[in-house]
Amino acid sequence: MYLLEHTLGTALENIVKKTPDKDFIIYPDRNLRFTYKTFDDRVNKLAKGLLTIGIKKGDHVGIWATNVPDWLTFLFATAKIGSVLVTINTSYKVHELEYLIKNADLKALCLIDGWRDSDYVGMVNELIPELKIMERGQLKSQKFPVLEHVVFIGQEKHRGMYNTPELLLLGEHVNDDELNAIKNSLNCHEVINMQYTSGTTGFPKGVMLTHHNILNNGYYIGECQKFTSDEILCLPVPLFHCFGIVLGVLALLSHGGTLAIIESFDPLMVLASVQKEKCTALYGVPTMFIAELNHPMFDMFDLSSLRTGIMAGSPCPMDVMKKVVEKMHMNEVTIAYGLTEGSPVMTQTRTDDPLDARVSTVGKELPAIEVKVVNPETGEECAPDEQGEVCCRGYNIMKGYYNNEAATKEAIDNEGWLHSGDLGLKTNEGYFKITGRIKDMIIRGGENIYPREIEEFLYGMPGIRDVQVAGVPSPKYGEQVGAFVILDENSSLTESDVMDYCRGKIARFKIPKYVFFVSGYPMTASGKIQKYKLGEQGLEMLKEKGIEII
């Protein structure tokens, strides 16, 4: 089976040689365009700028930003010098950022000014007060001893931080010899991307991914959609997810196509961009497609250029898929399934699969990947239509969790199979279906939320004796976060008190939508809490109160 054996930098440079003047990246809202050549030139300047300030092969560089134009410049610049780009969820607050900077051993943190109600610069200055008194490049943080640099992605100047123009200027004055020597020393099996996932136990873990992992996964994701160099993909999903980087950027890059990037999801901007750039493909989680279809101005836009795309992140309702095909002209839309530890996609429907298969299943395994369903108790492979745990093996499996060998061994068995923690089955026709989750992960509109992280946070709130977090079924988001709280004897906390305690401290999507005060939890005979019953219980409590479930 054909596998690409080069690095991200080489993949980009190969396209530059073939079509230097072809558009690679477009921002339709501001008519900003980068050809493959102009983008690669900018990448090289930034790579040399990073080398100048001491970022070396193997160093960890965090990026905390929406889909701003230089996000991808940092991705390819770090890849060309062999440093590891660590992606940071744009919804993170101080508590989560502090954990990641420490856990990931960041040497540099690159950020924008903020997003929505989050002031990134303010949060960073709160966590790293030394920035206000130390010169850029001279940072010595008591809390983060590994961190040496903070970089502002943009024109503004902030005390103690470099900004992007300064790094590009530094890079302009460096010859290419050092950069070329490093590029020539790189191996495609080295780690260059780290993404944080809650996994099956404990706090978020850094998933280590190589050039080989994500470039090949992107290539075959594009193949499943029959991508060519004429493809123009409208990409409104976040780049800090594998959905953005691998399914989006690398699927397109490996086929020499064009990206039309949306900085932050807005349904009107998506519709306008598809029409303006005559996009042939569109990505999103189901809630994004629902927002686009239901926009009052939907009928004003010509979407007839669309052909394919990907819907992923959570199950797609049949009605929504039919509307996407009929009203958005996406006759060849596909569904993909995977997890970050698998780079991420392990199965995907194909453009010529029947509509029913594209809604009721997550397709078949990608080329060069093995997928099987096993009995979680015995490890034996299940018969067709028999439910078990979905497992995967192949080039796409992560190198492991950063500094967490025990968790790595728990996720990948001795024969190289990655255990997903998801329940599923394989049909007689070879399609896979996801039927549930062994793990307690909540998936809210495509965002993975691990209950224990929220539970640990809420345990610190005075007045709470015990708390369990579980997913409450939601027609719009798939699941909403529900906190089931047992109060201290004399506590008078209200639902709003609990929500207010969370605001500004944990990401908005993790804040419980519902808070239920209970006297106990449903248990198994062995004393384990049955979280799925908590979700059902929450649903009943909402109905009894006459609260609309959204």
Task: Indicate the pLDDT class of residue 374, thresholds 50, 70 and 90.
Answer: very high
> Exposure of 388 by Cβ count < 10 A (0-12 exposed, 13-18 middle, 19+ buried)?
buried
CB 60 within 8 A of CB 104: yes
pLDDT value for 431? 97
Nearest of 527, 29, 1, 497 to residue 261 by alpha carbon: 29
* 97-111, 197-211, 485-499, 509-523, range with greatest mean pLDDT: 97-111
379 φ/ψ sector (left φ>0, alpha ψ -120 to 50, else beta) = left
pLDDT value for 223? 98
Nearest of 466, 476, 459, 485 to residue 538 by alpha carbon: 485
Task: Indicate the pLDDT class of residue 510, thresholds 50, 70 and 90.
Answer: very high
CB 76 within 8 A of CB 44: no
CA distance 99 to 121: 17
> Exposure of 227 by Cβ count < 10 A (0-12 exposed, 13-18 middle, 19+ buried)?
buried
Element at 311 (helix H, strand E): strand 308-311
For residue range 260-310, list pLDDT tens digits in order: 999 999 999 999 999 999 999 999 988 899 899 999 999 999 999 999 999
CA distance 498 to 337: 34
Q: Tokens for 324?
A: 């996407």
pTM: 0.86
pLDDT value for 527? 52
Q: What are phi and psi of 332, to 5 degrees?
A: -115, 30
CA distance 455 to 201: 13
Structure-token match 């004393």, residue found: 527
Nearest of 181, 285, 288 to residue 241 by alpha carbon: 285
Cα three-residue angle 309-310-315, rounded to 5 degrees: 145
pLDDT value for 198? 59
- Count of CB atoms situated within 10 Å of the CB of 25: 22
CB 211 within 8 A of CB 8: yes
CB 136 within 8 A of CB 110: no
Instruction: Work out whether the CA dihedral 499, 502, 504, 510 comes out positive or negative.
Output: negative
Give the mean model confidence (pLDDT) for residues 484-508. Answer: 93
Q: Give whole-number Cα distances, 221 to 114, 379, 443, 483, 548, in Å.
A: 32, 29, 22, 37, 38
CA distance 166 to 141: 22
Q: Tokens for 47?
A: 């790579």
Third-level CATH fold of 442-545: GMP Synthetase; Chain A, domain 3 (3.30.300)
Give the mean model confidence (pLDDT) for residues 501-521. Answer: 94
**Is 492's pLDDT higher than 70?**
yes
CA distance 372 to 363: 13
CB under 8 Å to 490, separation ≥6 — which residues? none
pLDDT value for 526? 41
pLDDT value for 201? 43
Nearest of 499, 507, 28 to residue 258 by alpha carbon: 28
CA distance 254 to 35: 15
Structure-token match 């709470």, residue found: 464
Structure-token match 């927002």, residue found: 291
For residue range 37-81, list pLDDT tens digits in order: 999 999 999 999 999 999 999 999 999 999 999 999 999 999 999
For domain 8-197, which architecture applies? 3-Layer(aba) Sandwich (3.40)
- Per-domain boundaries in the chain: 8-197, 442-545
Residue that wins the pLDDT comparison between 57 and 449: 57
Instruction: Work out whether the CA dihedral 285, 291, 293, 298 comes out positive or negative.
Output: negative
Instruction: Work out whether the CA dihedral 116, 95, 208, 187 comes out positive or negative.
Output: positive
Task: Indicate the pLDDT class of residue 525, thresholds 50, 70 and 90.
Answer: very low
CB 484 within 8 A of CB 454: no
CB 149 within 8 A of CB 137: yes
CB 15 within 8 A of CB 36: yes
**Is 33's pLDDT higher than 60?**
yes
CB 534 within 8 A of CB 119: no
- CA 321 to chain centroid, in Å, comes to 22
Give the mean model confidence (pLDDT) for residues 475-483. Answer: 92
Structure-token match 């099996």, residue found: 189
pLDDT value for 273? 98
Amino acid, res. 62: G
Q: How many CA atoms lie within 13 A of 392 on its CB side?
A: 28
CA distance 532 to 36: 49
pLDDT value for 197? 85
For residue range 265-274, list pLDDT tens digits in order: 999 999 999 9
Q: Would strands 258-261 and 23-27 be described as parallel, antiparallel, or unpaired?
A: parallel
pLDDT value for 465? 84
Give the mean model confidence (pLDDT) for residues 194-211. Answer: 81
DSSP state of 342: G
For residue range 130-170, list pLDDT tens digits in order: 999 999 989 999 999 999 999 999 999 999 999 999 999 99
- Count of CB atoms situated within 10 Å of the CB of 284: 26
CA distance 287 to 293: 10
**Is 512's pLDDT higher than 90?**
yes
Q: Tokens for 221?
A: 């994701």
For residue range 227-271, list pLDDT tens digits in order: 999 999 999 999 999 999 999 999 999 999 999 999 999 999 999
Mean pLDDT in the chain? 93
* SS3 state of residue 109: strand
What value does the CA radius of gyration of the chain take, rounded to a whole number of Å? 23
pLDDT value for 202? 55
**Is 200's pLDDT higher than 50?**
no
- Count of CB atoms situated within 10 Å of the CB of 159: 13
Element at 97 (helix H, strand E): helix 94-103
Spell out the SS3 assignment of 186-213. CCCCCEEEEEEECCCCCCCEEEEEEHHH
* SS3 state of residue 86: strand
